[in-house]
Structures are given as C-alpha cells and as structure tokens.
Amino acid sequence: MIKLDTLSVTFAAGSALRDISLKIAPGDRLGIVGESGSGKSLLASCLMGMAPDAATLSGTLTIDGVDMSDADEETWRPLRARRVAMIFQEPMSALNPLRRVGDTVAEPLRLHFGLSRDEAAKRVAELFAEVDLPNPERRARMFPHELSGGQRQRVLIALALACDPALLIADEPTTALDANVALQVTDLLVDLSEKRGMALVLISHDLASVARSTERVAVMYGGDIVERGGTDDVLHAPQHPYTRGLLAARPDPQAALRDEQGKRKRLPTIPGNVPPLSGLAQGCRFAGRCALERPDCATARPVPHGPRMLLCPVVEGAA
C-alpha cells in the first residue's frame, strides 16, 4: 500500500535520513523506535508529504501504486486524512482552544465528504463512541480545556479516523500521558487498527508500548534503520549494539537493587551523547559510542545484511 524506497533527507548541516526503505501493507502494525534526533519524526512527516522546505530529498514514495515523490500540494491534499492520517504528542496544542472539540472533528467530514451540519454532528458522536469517550454528545460540545489529557488524545484519534484513513501514523501519542492512561490509549489504537483493518505506524521512544502494540519494529539511530524484524524477536533478542544498549538501559522493576557489597547497582549505559547532525560519522552512525567498534567503522558505510537488515558489519546477523 505504502512503499518507501531508499529515502534520504539532507539538510545543510548534514544528512538526517539515509536510504530508508519501508513497506506498509493494509492492517500492518509497525513500531518505529529511536531516541531524540534519530529521525523518526522526520520519517513520519515524509510519509505525510510534509518534509520541511529546507530539506533535500531523494528516493521514491509510492502510495497505492502512485509515485508521490514529486507530488505537489494539490495531489497530496485528498490523500492526507483520507489515506494517511497522523496524531501527535501534545494533544492540547493540536486542538484549537477556542473551538468546541466536536466542531474540530466535524470540519474534515464537512470538507472532504460534504456532510451537512447535522449529519456531521451525528458522525462525530459515532466517532467519539468508537474511541471510548463517555457521553459522546456532551463531550462534543466541550472545549479542549474541559477534557483530561487522555480524553484530548482520544478526540485527536477520532479526528484522525474521521475520514477512514488506511494508515494512521501516531507520533509519540502517549508521551504526555500518565502511565495508566498511556496504556489505555495504546490499547485503543491496536483495537481500532484490528477492527478497521487500518495500518498503524507507532513512533515512540517507549519500548514497552511498542512491544505491546506492534507486530514489526524498526529501530532507528542517527537517521538509519539499524535493525528491523518481528517486535518480539527484536526486543527479546536484540542484535545491533545500539538496540542492545537501549534495551539494557531500561531499569527492570524486578531486578535486584544492590550487589553483594550492598552498593546500589548501576544501570548499563551507552557512553556519550547523540552527536549533532553535523557530527555524525560518515560510516556507521553509532561509531564512537559502540562497544564492538572496529577501526574502519566510522568511515565505512555498513551494508544491511541478514533477515533483520542489520546495519552492523561486526555482528553476524542470525534469524
């Protein structure tokens, strides 16, 4: 349905995405995991045809067999919302504080489907019920500030669903929410994707929510997809040194707190910081922080290999 082939995005400061290839079929649930600066949000904007103007792009993006690489705004507009919709991290800033949330959700319905005011209001109530908002008609008349964070995010999900998109991209949808509410929202997204046969791309730095809700996962670092595969496989048996480091850095609530000398156990860390765009190595992006680094890693561009498309020449990719 959506096919991304060797997409590269370059800014004046350096290259932000390198040769990203992805395929998303109807009903797929794909997680994209990475930390700040890994390029995951930029990748999402590219899928929506909203790459920043300052970027130079190469590669091809095909949606439903149509090449969208050079498509203009006119070609994109009907596709956005109806084929590909997106929700963002901060639900408060994505909603107009001066409009009733029902009117906000009704807008695309009236615009794209030409529904009358009453028809749209009826559809909004149905959508609100679908995203488990209690008392939908009453909620529709409320303003964003009258809703809780979780409810606002549900409104935005309803807005994204309004035009029956084939793919929903959720960019850090639960980061601003409480842990319990975050779980409910992630579960709702999975539920909707299953019921509607809608593909879901979940972008997150939260490994737990990706593990819970996706079938496949791609791990990003410094603009590369360093490893990909079945979510359970990758998260339980990570192969790329970065994925390993990332998983090890998560504290385990059940682990022993102290060692034999009674000293508190330190968490395993990845040394150093994510370098700025201009400071990324030409070869492997992870060079300089990697425990398995060889002398040529920083200069030789790694070639993806094995079933996981592993981007590391040092690790032998197993299934």
What is the binding site for another protein (CB under 8 A)?
A: 35-36, 149, 178-183, 205, 207-208, 210-212, 235, 245-247, 249-255, 257, 263-270, 273-274
The structure tokens listed for 289 are: 């922080």
**Sole residue written with tokens 């992630």:** 186
In the chain, count H helices and then E strands: 10, 10
Q: Which amino acid is at 99?
A: R
Indicate the SS3 state at residue 31: strand
CB of 89 to another protein, least distance (A): 12
DSSP single-letter state for residue 317: P
- Identity of the residue, 254 or 278, whose beta carbon is nearer to another protein in the bound complex: 254
CB of 205 to another protein, least distance (A): 6
Q: Which of 41, 38, 44, 47 is nearest to 18 (CA)?
A: 38
DSSP single-letter state for residue 27: T
| Calpha distance 176→90 (Å, rounded) | 6
CB of 211 to another protein, least distance (A): 3
- Identity of the residue, 189 or 198, whose beta carbon is nearer to another protein in the bound complex: 189
The structure tokens listed for 196 are: 């509607």
Indicate the SS3 state at residue 183: helix
173-183: string of b/e by CB count within 10 Å (b at 16+)? bbebbeeebbb
- Identity of the residue, 197 or 251, whose beta carbon is nearer to another protein in the bound complex: 251
CB of 153 to another protein, least distance (A): 14
The answer for residues whose C-beta is within 8 angstroms of residue 127's C-beta and 6 or more apart is: 105, 158, 161, 162
- Identity of the residue, 104 or 213, whose beta carbon is nearer to another protein in the bound complex: 213
- Identity of the residue, 116 or 269, whose beta carbon is nearer to another protein in the bound complex: 269
CB of 53 to another protein, least distance (A): 23
Please give the C-alpha separations between residue 57 and each of 16, 61, 169, in angstroms, as whole numbers.
Answer: 10, 11, 20
CB of 178 to another protein, least distance (A): 4
Please give the C-alpha separations between residue 94 and each of 120, 154, 173, 188, in angstroms, as whole numbers.
Answer: 21, 12, 12, 19
CB of 235 to another protein, least distance (A): 5
- Identity of the residue, 52 or 268, whose beta carbon is nearer to another protein in the bound complex: 268
- Identity of the residue, 155 or 207, whose beta carbon is nearer to another protein in the bound complex: 207
CB of 161 to another protein, least distance (A): 25
- Identity of the residue, 117 or 250, whose beta carbon is nearer to another protein in the bound complex: 250
φ/ψ region of 118 (left if φ > 0, alpha if ψ in -120 to 50, else beta) reads alpha
